[in-house]
Amino acid sequence: MRQDTLVAAGPGGVLSISGILPGQYDIWVKHPQSLAGAQPLVTLSAPTTDVTLSALLLGDANDTNVVNIADFSILAAAFGTSSDQPGYDARADFTGDAHVNISDFSILAANFGLNGAPPPAGGTGAPELRVLETLPPELASARLRFLTNNGSVSTRVGAAFSVTLRAGNSTVGGGSVVSLLDGAEAHLTFDPTKLQVDTSIVGGLTPGTTLTTILRSAYDNSAGTIDFAAGTLSAPASGEFTLVTIRFRALASTGSGVTLVQASSAPYYESLLTLDGAAITPSLTPLSVKIR
């Protein structure tokens, strides 16, 4: 038995709910600025039942149940403002002190890349990325692309090679304008039986020099994943720039086929480009790697 209930917290974060029939319930709790917490299969049989959940993690400025570069973009747009100033955005004020400053950034950075508990089956309130109907043209024209020779690499087993991932757009014409970005987040997958991020270089990933606030830089050579995110708390980056350079090592021949480095499609792990709180999921042409 389940019941969807909305209730405000009282002092000390205590939620009091009355009038619920005895039975078994899934409890799901979310604040608009936090990741959701959950406690499944709670049995209510006595007049009063106390249930304790872990503290809710803050940083979800846009209420999507994930802390990502879109939340950073909202914070960056309001950074350094107070509630009595233009540009202040309460969504990014995680401390609730009427200021958006380094304390709020610290909270977001600590929880960056995390997602909250999904709503119980049959429940409501599953947040999704909010897409603005009209995007700033400086964001709408932005893109992600691999800087290579015709989008492909040919190499041999055992060899190392570097691939640069670029963000933004410096082309004007055909409806495009020079892009402005305050954040970029890339999630990539690759075949770990054919490629590995080269561990002979510290980190395996070399950040670009344009977006200098690095929020995540990680790879998993067992799973074949790369996760990188960076932004700026000052002026947005104009035009196309290097987001990150990845150094791979070829492990095995691809024969007549190719292995691909491509954007992840896993939930909560979509690549994003942002400006002033708006976000797009850019297309990314896969990188073909032929290993001989």
DSSP assignment string, 255-290? TTS-EEEEE--STT---EEEETTEEE----PPEEEE
Which of 113, 130, 147 is the C-terminal boundary of a domain? 130
pLDDT per residue as tens digits for the range 66-76: 999 999 999 99
Four-residue CA torsion sign, 11, 37, 224, 149? negative
Q: Mark whether 119 and 173 lie in a shared domain.
A: no
Higher pLDDT pick, 176 / 65 = 65
Which helix (H) or strand (E) segment holds residue 145: the answer is strand 144-147
Which amino acid appears at position 288 of this protein? Answer: S
**126 by DSSP, 3-state: which?**
coil
3-state secondary structure of 88: coil
| Antiparallel, parallel or unpaired: β 152-155 and 287-291 | parallel
Q: Are residues 242 and 98 in the same domain?
A: no
The first and second tokens of residue 79, run together, are 């950074």
Residue 223 CB coordination number (10 Å): 10
Instruction: Give me the number of domains the chain comprises.
Output: 2
> What would the two tokens of residue 5 be?
């209930």
Question: Of 106, 130, 154, at which residue does a domain stop?
Answer: 130
Mean pLDDT of the chain: 87
Identify whether residues 119 and 159 lie together within a single domain: no
Q: Please check whether residue 183 is in contact with residue 210, taking contact to mean a CB–CB distance below 8 angstroms.
A: no
Domain span at residue 39 reads: 1-130
For the segment 201-222, the average pLDDT, to the nearest whole number, is 92
Whether the predicted pLDDT of 133 surpasses 70 = no
pLDDT for res 284: 94
Continuous H helices in 130-254: 137-140
Cα 65 to Cα 123: distance, rounded to the nearest angstrom:
15
What three-state secondary structure class fits 72? helix
The token pair at 284 is 């990314």
Q: CA nearest 288: which of 226, 166, 195, 186?
A: 195
One domain, residues 282 and 225 = yes
Residue that wins the pLDDT comparison between 205 and 27: 205
Q: What is the CATH number of the domain that holds 272?
A: 2.60.40.680
Do residues 69 and 184 make contact, with C-beta atoms less than 8 angstroms apart? yes
- Residue 174 is predicted with a pLDDT of 73
CA dist 112 and 213 (Å) reads: 12
Supply the CATH number for residue 18's domain: 1.10.1330.10
Distances 66 to 36, 234, 273 between C-alpha atoms, Å = 9, 24, 15
Q: Mind listing the pLDDT tens digit for each residue in 81-128?
A: 999 999 999 999 999 999 999 999 999 999 999 999 988 775 554 444
pLDDT 10s digits, 156-175: 999 999 999 999 999 887 77
Q: Note whether 167 and 82 are same-domain residues.
A: no
pLDDT of 30 > 80? The answer is: yes
157's CB contacts (< 8 A; 6+ apart) are 250, 251, 252, 253, 291, 292
Q: Are 267 and 246 in contact (CB under 8 A)?
A: no
148, 99: one domain: no
Helix (H, G, I), strand (E, B) or coil at 110: helix
| Residue 118 and residue 162 in one domain | no
Q: Give the separation between CA 8 and CA 91, rounded to whole angstroms.
A: 18
- pLDDT at residue 14 in the model: 65
Contact criterion met (CB below 8 Å) for 271 and 186 = yes
pLDDT recorded at residue 199: 85
- CB–CB of 189/261 below 8 Å? yes
